[in-house]
Structure 1
Amino acid sequence: MTGTRPTRMELGAQGEELALEHLQRAGMELLDRNWRCRAGEIDLVMRDGGQVVVCEVKTRTSTRFGDPVEAVTPTKHARLRRLAGMWVAEHASPAGGLRLDVVGMLFHPDGTHSVDHRRGV
């Protein structure tokens, strides 16, 4: 990252990378990353056992405007559900089902970070 303060895109990319590492340590397998279509983008598509998991990653440097996972509004949630259906239609249908997760990444002033992984939102 450039300088002492990362750009919004750099911060998001770093949060997404750390979220991916967290999910892989939890035993999940990466199927797709930054999948795009005309309706939007899915940050991460993972496999957790037999389930396909669509993960939205939200990264923040403070909770001034709320917790990162609170940024997934009902409208965003509905769009993620549509995108998940589109991803499944383009790929193999998940025999074990489909799940939506949100991973909140919070970077602290001391350089550490915390992860809030919410399954099946």
Structure 2
Amino acid sequence: MTNHSPYHYLDIGNAGEDLVAHWLQSQGWIILDRRWRCRWGEIDIVALYAEQIKDREVFSDGESLILDSPHHPITPSPHLPITPSPTLAFVEVKTRSPNNWDAGGRNAIASSKQVKLWRTAQMFLVAHPDKADYLCRFDVAIVSYQQISTQSSGDKFKEKNLISSPIAGYKLTLQEYINAAFDIVQ
């Protein structure tokens, strides 16, 4: 009888996505969707970052107004830049064991995968036309996992990682988050 781990491939992938979604939220991102699917493929995480600028309002014609004191309720401000458009990140999460065959998932983002993600992102924007004018980018998150040893003598050195979490006998670690990992393919 084979001793199978408590996680199979899909569950480890889901746990990696959970870790990345948690980290993104801690960085101020809003998770709009997880495992969004269409006929072209799936996007692991769709996240939105909209920087809030206090006391400023931007209107649809692009004019920026500053909200002042009661003496000057609304005063145009030529000195403040227009609020940047919100950023929409289509995040591909690669969860791998250490020393795996594809460099931690980096080699799995070949041009064919990029085209698939690009088409899927286009379909997401068609399904959500209110987000069609947002800045869009494709990010890649590299997550590693390894079984936690019951005879561990503790960490001999501190790892430099973004976030890590123990789950069901495994340690998942967000090793790298690559902003705008590839250009939009046409």
Q: TM-score, normalised by structure 2?
A: 0.59
* Counterpart position of 2:46: 45
Q: Paired residue for 2:171? A: 112
Contact kept? 1:68, 1:106, Cα under 8 Å: no
Q: Does the 8 A contact of 2:126 with 2:132 survive in 1? A: no
Q: Which has the higher contact order (CA 8 A, sep 6+)?
A: 1
2:112 counterpart SS class: helix
**2:131 is aligned with what amino acid?**
S
By how many angstroms is 1:108 displaced?
A: 3.0
Q: Say whether the 8 Å CA contact 2:48–2:89 is kept in structure 1.
A: yes
What RMSD, in angstroms, separates the aligned Cα atoms of the two structures?
A: 1.6
Contact 1:52 1:94 in 2 (8 A): no
- Would you say the 8 A contact 1:51–1:94 is kept in 2? no
Of 76, 92, 98 in structure 1, the residue corresponding to residue 136 of structure 2 is 98
Q: What is the match of residue 114 of structure 2?
A: 77
Shift of 1:34: 0.9
Residues in 1 aligned to 2:5 and 2:37: alpha-carbon distance in whole angstroms: 30
Gaps of 5+ in 2: 51-85, 149-169, 182-186
Per-residue deviation at 1:38? 1.1
Q: Which has the higher helix share?
A: 1
Runs of 4+ aligned structure 1 residues displaced above 4 Å come to: none
Q: TM-score when scaled to structure 1?
A: 0.88
Counterpart residue number, 1:68: 105
Identity of aligned residues (%): 29
Q: Which residue of 2 aligns with 1:18?
A: 19
Q: Which runs of 5+ in 1 are unaligned?
A: none
Instruction: State the structure with more CA Rg.
Output: 2
**Paired AA for residue 57 in structure 1:** V
Kept in 1: contact 2:145–2:172 (CA 8 A): yes
